[in-house]
Each structure stands twice: as C-alpha cells, then as structure tokens.
A = this chain, B = another copy of it.
Amino acid sequence: MKTQYRLVFSAVAGMLALNVSAAELKPEDAIKLRKANYNTLSWNMNKIKDVLDNEMDFDAKKVAAASNVIAAIANSGMGALYIPGSEKSIGDMKTRAKPEIFTDGEGVKAVAVKFIQTANKLQTAAASGDKVAVAQAFKKVGASCKACHDKYRAKK
C-alpha cells in the first residue's frame, strides 16, 4: 500500500518533471516552501512591473536580474513541493491550493510548461535589454501566472 502510494506520487512528480526526494520533506514545510517560491516570484514580477510602469529610464540591469530569478525558479522543479499531505492548510500554515492541483496531472503540466516557456522567453528578452520585447514577454508570464491562479488557487 505504501509502495503503491509512492508509485502514484512518483508518477505525478514525473509528469511535473521533478526530481526531489519528497520523503524528507514534511507537508507543512512543503506548503511553506511553495509560498516562499511564489512570494519570491511575485517580488521579482513586481520589480519588472515597476520598471515598465513608472521609470523614465529603462533599468535593463534590474529587469535582467529579476527575470533571472523568475526563470530560475520556473525551472527549479516546484512541483516537487506538492506532496501528499500538503493538500490543505496545516494549522497556521495556510495554503490556497485547490484539490485539483493534486489530481489534474495533464492540466497542471500544461500550466507548468507554459510558465517555464514564458519565463525563459522573458529572460531572453531581458538579456537583450529591449524594453518593448520585455513588455511583451512580461505580459505573457503574467498571463501564465493568472491561468494557474484561476484554475488552481482558491479565492481569498
């Protein structure tokens, strides 16, 4: 039974192209780390938004640094943090993940792949220093974030 459970998890992890030994991770730490990664992503998305929205000069260096974080996290195998036992909030460790994110393998794979692709393109655009290219690529990353939130994150 335990083996079967592990096999199911391995299958899900495989779909997400992950590679982390989930056995060592406690569910509450998995939730904490998911939120840590998403908050880090959000901070860096906001930096790029600030540059695009507000600054007279295009700060290419800042945008490139933020884009590097976003692309690196997108490619870091976050799916490994969706382990059994982490489906619901645990005490003070709240999660807004919907149950579907643990069951809808194909749908999750689609949003994950889209996020990785758009994040990689943003990184390339940012490295070029072209503001228009960054603005376009940034919009697509934002759309991929939203697509996942709409489908797999509960409203507040």
Contacts and interface: CB of A to CB of B under 8 A. Distances in A.
A47 B20 contact: yes
Interface residues of A, number: 29
| Chain A contact surface mostly | helix
A50 interface: yes
Contacts of A33: 39-40, 43
B77 A68 contact: no
Contacts of A24: 50
Copies in the complex: 2
Nearest to A77: B65
A-B residue pairs, 9 tightest by C-beta: A36-B39, A68-B72, A72-B72, A69-B72, A36-B36, A40-B40, A36-B40, A33-B43, A65-B76
A21 interface: yes
Contacts of A139: none
Interface in A51-85: 54, 59, 61-62, 65-66, 68-69, 71-73, 75-77
A68 B59 contact: no
A28 B69 CA distance: 22
